[in-house]
């Protein structure tokens, strides 16, 4: 199987590593606008060959792992080149605009819209990890618009590398992901900004920062080149989540200003329920894994 990875960074490189480990007779080709990334990916064994876009005509599967604004431009061109038996999928964090972009493309049937809920705050080929996708959810949108035999081909690969599949329409995907992913990145970036600005006057802040601070601002290390286009494409949903978040922050501040620490306690205690929700999700995932024999 000839697999072409467009974008050989963290996600594309990790996908390549998992393919090589779990799928037999795979030959991985890399396409990247950065020659340095291609050389790193080749040296690290993430890809077997460097390639150009015209080579996509011989692909069995194409995996787009590039910023979402680039995908809007690149996906139609990829679909123009691939053969009828090739499935094209992606890892983009926004889906509505991309699905609309290729809605009328003659080869829309070749595209499977995907979003793996996997990643780290690091980027580039050196950040690639084997096993990054194992037990992670891959959200598939508009599966009915993909040719059935191509659905099967992609889903077989996702299953081989240990992913769980969830189906969702693009509009719902973008709305929900704004809350559980996009907002958390903004929160992390802005907390980091706040502390960096204060640190100019108080050098001791970082000496006092513990693991709680480090874990909260971890996402602030993420690539601005990747996240700015995400916020642009999902602006409406992100603005809605920000309004709700800011409202909650203002309410918390008002409680403190009024010395209403009993209500502060109640607010935090109610929010502690999030651990039960997350523990329940983890237990359900583990149960499904056991049931499937994985």
Percentage of the chain lying above the pLDDT 70 cut: 91
* pLDDT, tens only, 254-277: 999 999 999 999 999 998 887 776
Q: Using CA of residue 17, residue 294, residue 1, residue 104, what is the dihedral sign?
A: negative
Q: Which pLDDT does position 206 carry in this prediction?
A: 67
pLDDT at position 25 is: 94
- The predicted-structure confidence for 32-81, as pLDDT tens digits, reads as follows 999 999 999 999 999 999 999 999 999 999 999 999 999 999 999 999 99
Q: What sign does the CA torsion over 130, 187, 166, 274 have?
A: positive
State the average pLDDT for the chain: 91
* pLDDT per position as a tens digit, 7-28: 999 999 999 999 999 999 999 9
Say what the pLDDT of residue 219 is.
87
Please check whether the domain covering 173-258 is classified as CATH 1.10.3660.10.
Answer: yes
237 CB neighbour count, 10 Å cutoff: 22
CB 175 within 8 A of CB 141: no
187 phi-psi bin (left φ>0, alpha ψ -120 to 50, beta other): alpha
Q: Please, which pLDDT band fits residue 215 given cuts at 50, 70 and 90?
A: confident
pLDDT grade for 97, boundaries at 50, 70 and 90 = very high
For the beta sheet containing 111-116, the strands, ordered from the edge strand earlier in sequence to the opposite edge, are 49-50, 27-31, 2-6, 61-64, 87-90, 111-116, 137-141, 164-167
CATH 3.40.50.720: does it fit domain 2-168? Answer: yes
Is residue 112 a contact partner of residue 140, using CB atoms and an 8 Å limit?
yes
Q: Within a 13 Å sphere around the CA of 206, how many CA atoms are in the beta-carbon half? A: 11
pLDDT reading at 149 higher than 70 = yes
Residue 128 C-beta-side C-alpha neighbours within 13 Å:
27
> What six digits make up the tokens of 252?
């918390």
Q: What is the dihedral of CA 138, 273, 288, 89, to 10 degrees?
A: 0
* Residue 285 confidence (pLDDT): 52
Q: What is the pLDDT of residue 290?
A: 36
- CATH 1.10.3660.10 in the chain: give the residue spans: 173-258
Intervals of CATH 3.40.50.720 along the chain: 2-168
Q: Per-residue confidence at 280, pLDDT binned at 50, 70, 90?
A: low
Tokens 């191509």: give the residue.
Answer: 150
Q: How far is CA 8 from CA 40, 122, 210, 214, in A?
A: 9, 13, 34, 28
Based on DSSP, count helices (H) and strands (E) in the chain, helices before strands: 13, 8
Residues 142 and 77: their CA atoms lie apart, in Å, by: 20
DSSP, collapsed to helix, strand or coil, labels residue 63 as: strand
């Amino acid at each position: 199987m000839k697999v072409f990875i467009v974008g050989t960074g963290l996600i594309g490189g990790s996908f390549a590593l998992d393919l090589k480990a779990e799928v037999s007779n795979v030959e991985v080709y890399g396409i990247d606008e950065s020659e340095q990334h291609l050389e790193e990916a080749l040296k690290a064994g993430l890809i077997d060959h460097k390639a150009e876009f015209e080579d996509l005509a011989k692909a069995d599967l194409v995996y787009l792992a590039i910023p979402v604004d680039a995908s809007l431009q690149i996906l139609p061109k990829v679909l123009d080149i691939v053969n009828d038996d090739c499935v094209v999928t992606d890892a983009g964090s926004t889906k509505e605009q991309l699905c609309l972009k290729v809605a009328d493309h003659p080869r829309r049937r070749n595209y499977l819209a995907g979003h793996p809920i996997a990643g780290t705050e690091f980027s580039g080929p050196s950040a690639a990890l084997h096993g990054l996708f194992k037990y992670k959810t891959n959200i598939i949108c508009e599966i009915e618009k993909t040719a059935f035999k191509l659905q099967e081909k992609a889903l077989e690969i996702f299953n081989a590398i240990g992913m769980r599949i969830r189906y969702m329409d693009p509009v719902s995907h973008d709305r929900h992901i704004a809350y559980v992913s996009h907002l958390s990145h903004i929160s992390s970036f802005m907390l980091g900004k706040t502390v960096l600005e204060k640190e100019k006057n108080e050098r001791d802040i970082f000496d006092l920062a513990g693991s709680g601070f480090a874990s909260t601002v971890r996402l602030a290390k993420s690539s601005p080149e990747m996240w700015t286009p995400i916020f642009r494409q999902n602006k409406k949903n992100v603005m809605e989540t920000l309004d709700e978040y800011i409202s909650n922050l203002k309410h918390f501040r008002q409680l403190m200003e009024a010395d209403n620490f009993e209500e502060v306690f109640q607010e935090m205690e109610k929010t502690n329920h999030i651990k039960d929700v997350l523990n329940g999700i983890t237990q359900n995932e583990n149960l499904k894994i056991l049931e499937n024999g994985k």
